[in-house]
Amino acid sequence: MTTTLPVMTTSNTWHRDRGLARWAFASTSRSAHASEGLIAHVVAVASCVAPFADIASVSWSTGAKGEDSLVRTFESVPSEAAIIEGAGALDDITGATLELDLRCISSDGALRRVEDGASLEIERTSDGTVVTTFVLNVDLFVPLTWGTVRQNGELASTNAPRLNAFLERLSAASGGVLSYFDTDEYTGQLTEIGVAGAV
């Protein structure tokens, strides 16, 4: 839990499953030292998360120890220092994953928390490119979902603009260009910039 916001319970109008949609942004490393550059990149990306979401945990990967070489979870909204604490002591950082609790507007107009609603996966490739992938785990942002009741226009109308604004900030913060997006389950609704038609 990262905030005191009440949890938005899963509704029959939207669906939850890991990796429902993905957007990947590719950029070059921000430092001649690979690990330092990746840490700087994580800081930049983390700075654009609010007010769309809160960072629930960060997991660092290294060449020597693989995934989860260093994991930190947060009970409140973390500071920049908390996010990167201990990362500077790691050698050969290859990536990091930020698990996100989304801030969404419920049908009653209240701001609520959707736990494990998305993640940011940051990876340094062999050629030095840093790829930041936003992975969405819920489809409450689109008007036609895979929920039991597929019509989700009310939630989509208030939350879709929040997703689109976040993706715009993420593109700028990552210093990258969109290199890949996978939204096949929502063709015509999700595009390279988020939810089609949302303003």
Residue 57: alpha-carbon gap to chain centroid: 12
What is the rounded CA–CA span in Å between residue 190 and residue 107? 21
Per the model's pLDDT, the better-predicted residue between 71 and 128 turns out to be 71
Q: What is the DSSP letter of 186?
A: G
Residue 100 has pLDDT above 90, yes or no: yes
Q: Which of 56, 75, 58, 73 is nearest to 4 (CA)?
A: 75
Which tens digits make up the pLDDT trace of 108-123?
A: 999 999 999 999 999 9
Contacts of 171 (CB under 8 A, 6+ apart): 25, 177, 178
Per the model's pLDDT, the better-predicted residue between 4 and 178 turns out to be 178
Domain boundaries, the chain: 16-186
Which tens digits make up the pLDDT trace of 164-195?
A: 999 999 999 999 899 999 999 999 999 999 99
Q: Could you tell me the pLDDT band of residue 11, with boundaries at 50, 70 and 90?
A: confident
Q: Which of 114, 158, 107 is nearest to 3 (CA)?
A: 114
Confidence (pTM): 0.94
